[in-house]
Structure 1
Amino acid sequence: MLIDKFISEIESKRNCAVVGLDTQYEYVPDKMKKSDPIESIWEFNKRIIDAIYEIVAVVKIQIAMYEQYGVAGLDLFYRTSHYAKEKGMYVIADVKRGDISSTAVAYSKAFLTRPDIDFVTVNPYMGYDSIKPFIDDCVKYDKGIFILTKTSNPSSGDIQDLIADGRPIYEHVAIKVDQWGKDYVGERGYSFVGAVIGATYPEQAKKLRALMPNAYILVPGYGVQGATAQDAAAAFNRDGLGAIVNSSRGILLSYKKHPEIGLEDAIIQEVIRMRDDLNSAIRGDKK
């Protein structure tokens, strides 16, 4: 099962960090910029992947950053996912899809039938019939999903924190995630039906972790969005597993903090710092 192999790769690299390739043209170093934004971003993405693939298991590619460039941007999205996969990395397509069942079938096939995509993010707002096509394809193609549960953005509470039957909405979502994933738990004790919980809400993450003991959690919000490694550690289980932590701008723009060294060295330095920061926090959380 994919989730078991995924966990083994994270353990092998001792690194739960995810590098978010939410690349924008303005992130590209000036000396790398060409007149064509697509080719500039492509070269930047390739250099990042080349720098990290031996020490990072997972990349997350945010599709909106590519869709804004039209057909050429979508081609770049898939070139990037294919290149990362060629390097042996796991690829999360951050697409946040959610729609009625017939449309969800099409969304799922668009991503989960591809060999260069391992996981997608999905939106549960429309209920189980919008999620089931993704679960069915995960079974068929050995893939995984991360369901938006308590997101990292400041206004997530506008809807997610509303109380229904004595619980905030995000807890109801977590209970559903646990139910939807309980029949798909691998040998390592985790399901391919995962969740998204922002590191910016560590207290909520602790409770959600307990509600979803078998869910793997994608944790955004570390670094630039303000969350610390200790905040992110709230999403992990006592076995030191159960979550992966994303950083996008903090890694993509690390060369600006270290102009004295090259692009690749700056990225590697930031990834290693993040890895060690997270590992230390996770160990401390287990004491």
Structure 2
Amino acid sequence: MTAPARVRPFGERLAAAMDVHGPLCVGIDPHASLLDAWGLPDDAAGLREFAHRVMDAVAGRVAAVKPQAAFFERHGSAGVAVLEEVVAAGRETGTLVVVDAKRGDIGSTMGAYADAFLRDGSPLAGDALTVSPYLGFGSLDPAVDLALATGRGLFVLCLTSNPEGPDVQHARTAQGVTVAAQVAARAAALNTGAASLGSIGLVVGATVGTAVRDAGVDLAAVAGPLLAPGVGAQGAGAAELAAVFGDARRQVLASSSRGVLAAGPEVGALRTAALEASSQAAAALR
């Protein structure tokens, strides 16, 4: 019996998609206010119409999409079913799907999250998952192991733009390094030997200013993708991206949600906004 072909690692697939489509990830964040602005009801039917319009507009035209799980989960099981449809649509159109669920727990519970979002055959398993390391990086081992075994990836929270973030991320360990720098170093170790981009990436806000330097984080050494929320409507342009990411700019997957979604509800307008945002991100990250 012939063994199944091994799936290319997520980092390699993402690097290829960024080369073709540019370094943009379109967030699918169906806030209640956006549903209203699009003339859609704040229920599962409105959510489904919203999500499918976004996928119709951008699938096959951008490097990745990033559905925010919370906005689907707030509609209960019917909303989670729509999230499964987004994952399936990504698979059918060859568009990478980063499920933005920021899961983080310990032991068997983390194992169950990994099973839900990273196991072959799970309807919630996209191409990558966002996770939180703030119960200790080792708590993510079940997700790391399963992601690497199935050709999927992780984006580990490192430096975030919320004002409370530095209280944890800039705190120093007993060895004198910041928590954020330790997280980055652990990700770098997991990417050792990757052919192109590694599959264990970081989440680094595009609007964090001097935080990378202040926390002593070596982003280039991570050798994995850097998911950068905050591009566009949240204020990060070329100058901010250069200041935050420096020599690691070519690793950045810029994420834009409101900047693209505000152009809806028409599919054509959404597509135009996404392609413009992708072009701007590519120019900013050269």
Is 2:159 aligned against 1:150? yes
Deviation at 1:199, TM superposition (A): 0.6
Deviation at 1:215, TM superposition (A): 1.9
**1:90-149, CA deviations, whole angstroms, 9 ceiling, x for partnerless residues?**
001111111112111111010101375110011111224311111111222111101100
**1:18-39, CA deviations, whole angstroms, 9 ceiling, x for partnerless residues?**
10011123313656424x6211
- Highest RCO, 1 vs 2 (Cα 8 Å, sep ≥ 6): 2
Is 2:199 aligned against 1:196? no
- Whether the 8 Å CA contact 1:215–1:242 is kept in 2: the answer is yes
SS in 1 for 2:250: coil
- Whether the 8 Å CA contact 2:201–2:222 is kept in 1: the answer is no
User: Normalised by the size of structure 1, how large is the TM-score?
Assistant: 0.86
1:12 pairs with one of 9, 16, 20:
20
- Whether the 8 Å CA contact 1:98–1:125 is kept in 2: the answer is yes
**1:175-198, CA deviations, whole angstroms, 9 ceiling, x for partnerless residues?**
22222332xx4322x211111101
Is 2:57 aligned against 1:54? no
- Residue number in structure 2 paired with 1:264: 267
2:109 pairs with one of 74, 99, 103:
103
Root-mean-square deviation over aligned CA pairs: 2.3
- Residue number in structure 2 paired with 1:42: 48
User: Normalised by the size of structure 2, how large is the TM-score?
Assistant: 0.86
Unaligned runs of 5+ in 2: 1-8
- Whether the 8 Å CA contact 1:175–1:211 is kept in 2: the answer is no
Supply the distance in 2 between the matched residues of 1:78 and 1:99 (Cα, whole angstroms).
22
Is 2:30 aligned against 1:23? yes
Unaligned runs of 5+ in 1: 256-261
- Residue number in structure 2 paired with 1:123: 132
- Whether the 8 Å CA contact 1:104–1:134 is kept in 2: the answer is yes
Q: For this pair of structures, how many residues does the alignment match?
A: 272
Supply the distance in 1 between the matched residues of 2:171 and 2:24 (Cα, whole angstroms).
31
- Residue number in structure 2 paired with 1:87: 93
Deviation at 1:7, TM superposition (A): 0.9
**1:68-101, CA deviations, whole angstroms, 9 ceiling, x for partnerless residues?**
1111111111112212222211001111111112
Supply the distance in 1 between the matched residues of 2:105 and 2:75 (Cα, whole angstroms).
24
- Residue number in structure 2 paired with 1:186: 194
- Whether the 8 Å CA contact 2:11–2:153 is kept in 1: the answer is yes
Aligned residues with identical type, % of pairs? 30
Supply the distance in 2 between the matched residues of 1:213 and 1:127 (Cα, whole angstroms).
18
